[in-house]
Every structure is written in structure tokens, then in C-alpha cells.
Amino acid sequence: MSEKKRLEKILQGNEACVEGAILAGVRFFAGYPITPASEIAEGMAQRLPALGGVFMQMEDEIASMAATIGASLAGAKAMTASSGPGICLKQENIGFAAICEVPCVIVNSQRGGPSTGLPTKPAQADVMQARWGTHGDHPMIVLSPSDVTEVLNITIKAINFSEKYRTPVMLMLDEVISHMREKVIIPPKEEIEIIDRKKPTVVKEDFLPYKADDDLVPPMANFGSGYRYHVTGLVHNEKGYPTSNNKEIDYLIRRLTNKVELNKKDIILEEKYLLDDARVAIVAYGSVARAAERTVKLAREKGIKVGLLKLITLWPFSDDTISQLASQVDLIVVPEMNLGQMVREVQRAAEGKCRVISYSRVDGELINPLEILAKIEEEGK
């Protein structure tokens, strides 16, 4: 068998997520089974013990999130995965991870909601929850791949971002992406960029657990390694103790958000397809971006100049790219498997410079290319 053949596999999106996580160094997973995310837990349960890692099936999603945070504090790269109903339960602890600056990745394989909703059908209706599901001002990095190879690569990115910025990262899949099987070439280890959290460089006695460097990210000591520190969900000072000092409060809340917002250039991942001469732009993400790519080809066959902006990073949002795009095109169409969530962000960033319209589908089926084309043709009349 040739070298290339050996590394080629037919993988499901969820299996590719497991491969990516393991390549990125994840060695702890806590979860609770739920369709359409279960195969991630299944894969982790098979793979982690052999690598000296730990898989824990917890009593519920709340405990899974808590265990993920605990493992990360102790030094492991940690991940959990769920779907809408489980992600709802995790919200309080996601806020805890954000304020305590605990690196971790939460996978949300989206299904129709609300509540138990549609267990086996895709949706994209959790993209606002991903940003604002837990209360209070907090940073959030949210990524959304659209094919199986991308699931593998973006899972690695998600782990890297969480380590680099010491923050929870949400990886948004959906039923289509999670269960879809495609040919994937597994990259060799030496070709993958791996980022590990910064470790303290001071002696143990001088360690201030929440004293940030110039990049606004504090170095992180493994809990229990002799660097003493206090971990609390209360707003805290550099020592990690609760504070009611207005200056310290203001500093922490702004720093948490700024460590992500000021690094947008590094975090925002997007792809442009045939946008150079476009008069109409489709802005899409996740599985719907695959339909949109086909729409672009079909439209161009008919002589309509359509291009695609695919968002891989949903949060922080691509304000600058959308603003430029709005100056160039006459119309932006945002197809989503929800009743119009990211379209509002696109409208905000477009600042009225062009028309922005939503195309929604919420019946549990993936949007198809012909529907988006019909919407563009209807609007063009």
C-alpha cells in the first residue's frame, strides 16, 4: 500500500473531530451521550485509554462540563461534546471557564430545537446561544467547519485557540456535518501546529495566577503542581481572590473580552470564493456553505455574478470583511438553518451600504443550492 493510501480514510465528521482532538493533544474527555454528538464520546472512549488519557462518562452534561474544567486546571487539554439540550445545561459552567480562564473546547453538534426538538435532524439555531448562552460579558471563540477534513483541522485550531487565549472555545457542528462521511487524509504529526498554554516563568512564591502578560493572557500553572492559587467564579484580582474594588473589576471584565477582540486577526478564519467581481454575495457557514458554493456555480452559469464568503469563525464576528463586502456588492443573502440569526450581525456590519436579506429553512432538512439561487433571482427582479 502506498504512503498516501495508508493515510486516506472514510471518516464521519464526529470521527474526524476525535482524530483532530487527539492530534492536538486532548487527553481528557468527559461527556454524556446525545444524538447527534454521541460518536465523539464513543471515539474518545476507544482512543484515550490507549494514549494514557482519561475518558469519563459523567452523570449528566453539567458534571461533564465541570470535569472538563477540572482536568484542564490540572494541566490536561480537555474537551466535551453535546447537542442543544446538553449545551443548555453546560451554560453556567461555561461562564465559570470563561471567568477563571480555563482552556477547554465544547463541541455542539446542532440539532433542531428548542428543547429535545429534532434529535436526528440538522439546524444552525444555536449560533447566538454559542455567543451569549452564559450570562455576563465574556469572551467566546466559536468555530464552524463545513466538511469532514475541515472538522479535523478546525478541531485542532479550536484546541489551539483555547490554549493560546485561555478561554472556552465552541466548535459548532450540525447533524449533517457530524454524520457525513468523506475521504480524509490524516496529516502527519510533524505537519500540525500545536499550541500549549503558557507556563509561569516566576518562582512559586512570586506567582500571581491572574497577572496577565502584555498579550492580556496570564500564564497558567497546573493546579496541584506547587503553585498555590485560588479559583473562583467571583470577579477576582490578580491573586485570584474575590474583589469589590471597582478598578480591579473593570480591569478583569475588559481584559477577558479584549484578549479575544484585540486578536481578531489571528482568530477570524474565513474563505472567499469568486467574490472579486461579484454583485451578489452569499454569506454562509457550516453545512449550508456547501450548498452556497454550488449556488455560486449555478448562478454564474446563468450569468449572475455571485460569490461566497464562508465564515469559519462565527465569533468574534467578521465585521471588517462584511463592511468591505457591503461597499462592493448590491445584495448580500444569508442562508441559515434558523429563522435569521447571523443575518442580523451581517446587517449590523453592512451599515446600510447594501441590501442584506435572510433565507431560512427550519424543517430539519439542509438548505439546497436551488433554493438559494431562486431567492437571488427573485430579489434581482
Partner 1 sequence: MRKEICLSGSGGQGLILAGIILAEAAGIHDGFEVVQTQSYGPEARGGASRSEVVISDEKIDYPKIIKSDILLALTQKACYKYIENLKEDGILLVDSTDVTKIPPFKGRVYQHPITEDAIKVLGNQLVANIISLGILVQISEIVSKEALKQALQTRIPERIRDLNKKALEYGFQIGENLINIT
Give the residues lining the site for partner 1 (CB under 8 A).
Answer: 5, 8-10, 35, 119-121, 147, 176, 179-183, 287, 290-291, 293-294, 297, 365-366, 368-370
| Cβ closest to partner 1, residue 65 vs residue 152 | 152
| Cβ closest to partner 1, residue 63 vs residue 151 | 151
H or E segment at 122? strand 118-122
Shortest Å, Cβ 356 to partner 1: 23
H or E segment at 253? helix 246-261
Shortest Å, Cβ 158 to partner 1: 22
Residues counted in the chain: 381
| Cβ closest to partner 1, residue 169 vs residue 291 | 291
3-state SS class at 138: coil
Asked if residue 57 lies in contact with residue 41, where contact means CB atoms within 8 angstroms, the answer is: yes
Cell readout for 377 is: 433571482
Alpha helices in 74-147 (DSSP H): 84-99, 127-132
Shortest Å, Cβ 373 to partner 1: 11
Asked if residue 55 lies in contact with residue 5, where contact means CB atoms within 8 angstroms, the answer is: no
3-state SS class at 285: strand
| Cβ closest to partner 1, residue 72 vs residue 144 | 144
Shortest Å, Cβ 287 to partner 1: 7
Shortest Å, Cβ 82 to partner 1: 17
| Cβ closest to partner 1, residue 176 vs residue 349 | 176
> Of the candidates 182, 228, 188, which has an alpha carbon nearest to the alpha carbon of residue 205?
228
| Cβ closest to partner 1, residue 141 vs residue 283 | 283
Shortest Å, Cβ 63 to partner 1: 25
Q: Residue 95's beta-bridge partner residues?
A: none
Rounded Cα–Cα distance for residues 370 and 380 (Å): 15
